[in-house]
Amino acid sequence: MHFRSFIPRFAPRFAQLRGLRNWMVQSRARTVSVIGLSSVVGLSTWASVRPRHSMLLHARSFDGEAAGSMGSANASNKGSKLPHISVYQYETCPFCSKFRAFLDYYGIEYEKVEVHPVFKREIWFSSYKKVPIMVAGETQVNDSSFMVSVVRTAMLLDGDINKSLEMYPELPEEAESERANKYNIMYGNTEDIDSRSEERRWRRWVDDKLIHVLAPNIYSTPRQSLQAFQYITEVSNFNTFERYLAKYIGAFTMYFIAKHLRKKYEIQSDVRQAIYGCVNVWMKGIGKKRMFLGGDKPNLADLAVYGVLSATEGLDTFDDVMKNTKALKWYQGVQYHVRNHTGAPPSSNN
Ligand SMILES: N[C@@H](CCC(=O)N[C@@H](CS)C(=O)NCC(=O)O)C(=O)O
């Protein structure tokens, strides 16, 4: 909806908003608290930016389209020994997309629980307040990369999540989500030491580098920021009023926060060049001789890069990246494997 057509229907509310503005300017303290509230709305919803599908990907569709997400309300993990898995998430959060790409690729069924970006009612049970959160059977696990490692290791341990967790001792001094060897998979004896360490290195790079160039790009201009927040109405569990509030306040706030994040992570001022640079570094890492970093099939690093980039599908950032780098073929390749769950064991492959 265009801003102009939005005004007449909501004119009374705008009059109230003018009153609100007057109230705000009366007191510096109040102004600070309102800005704080806006930031919470903005920050909490920056992840609620769900593109439906990229125009670019539609224009050049890939063989073997979409079996779709394995997410299902009655996920049972029949065919594997993993317990029932619930993923508390924002549909468009890049950390959440990363974890879903992993689960989908391996054909692991899971229940998705969309968390309210502001009130977070759905995760009141948890003292850790970020998403994604996984509850596997009775066990809660936090942090997307850690969750990937724990589930992947559990798959090699007859689906035993708790046994897998024992292999990742907590570091007393670290943040709640940090564990020793968070990027390690307990593959046991493997002759493939080099490719395992390459996989780990790139998974860490995704968290340390790639993910940080997203927000400064998605919210780089007011128009793109609004474009991003437009999607909130489609996927989040906001009520109607919250939706309008989140869309305009969120877009406005994130436009400024993105500038702050750019400086914090020392990203060059031409943010598009920064993300092209990252994607080029990744493509160079794969090299010309293999389709994926994992060879003929994606490994956990391919899935992580794919998952994070897929959170921008449908936005200008995504289309620009695909047009200005050589990543499209690789991206579509991983998408094929993820959507068709080609990593699932033959018995549970559908
Ligand atoms: N290291 C965590 C980071 C998760 C994270 O920062 N998630 C964001 C959403 S994209 C979040 O929950 N932010 C706090 C909030 O929304 O209140 C992971 O990899 O899972």
Strands (E), the chain: 85-89, 111-114, 133-136, 139-142
Q: Which residues contact 245 (CB under 8 A, 6 or more apart)?
A: 41
CA distance 322 to 314: 11
Catalytic residue among 93, 99, 146, 238: 93
Please provide the average confidence, as pLDDT, over all residues in the chain: 80
The pLDDT score that the predictor gives to residue 208 is 96
Q: What is the DSSP letter of 89?
A: E
The pLDDT score that the predictor gives to residue 75 is 57
Catalytic residue among 3, 10, 62, 95: 95
Query: Is 96 one of the catalytic residues?
Result: yes
Mean pLDDT, rounded, for 16-33: 41
- Cβ of 95 closer than 6 Å to ligand 1, yes or no, is yes
Residues in the chain: 350
Mean pLDDT, rounded, for 153-172: 92
Query: Is 231 one of the catalytic residues?
Result: no
Mean pLDDT, rounded, for 65-81: 52
Mean pLDDT, rounded, for 106-121: 94
Mean pLDDT, rounded, for 268-279: 96
Q: For residue 9, is pLDDT > 50?
A: no
CA distance 48 to 46: 5
- Cβ of 45 closer than 6 Å to ligand 1, yes or no, is no
Distance from the Cα of residue 334 to its chain's centroid: 16
CA distance 60 to 55: 9
Single-letter amino acid code for the residue at 18: R
Query: Is 183 one of the catalytic residues?
Result: no
Contact of 341 with 64, CB cutoff 8 Å: no
The pLDDT score that the predictor gives to residue 242 is 86
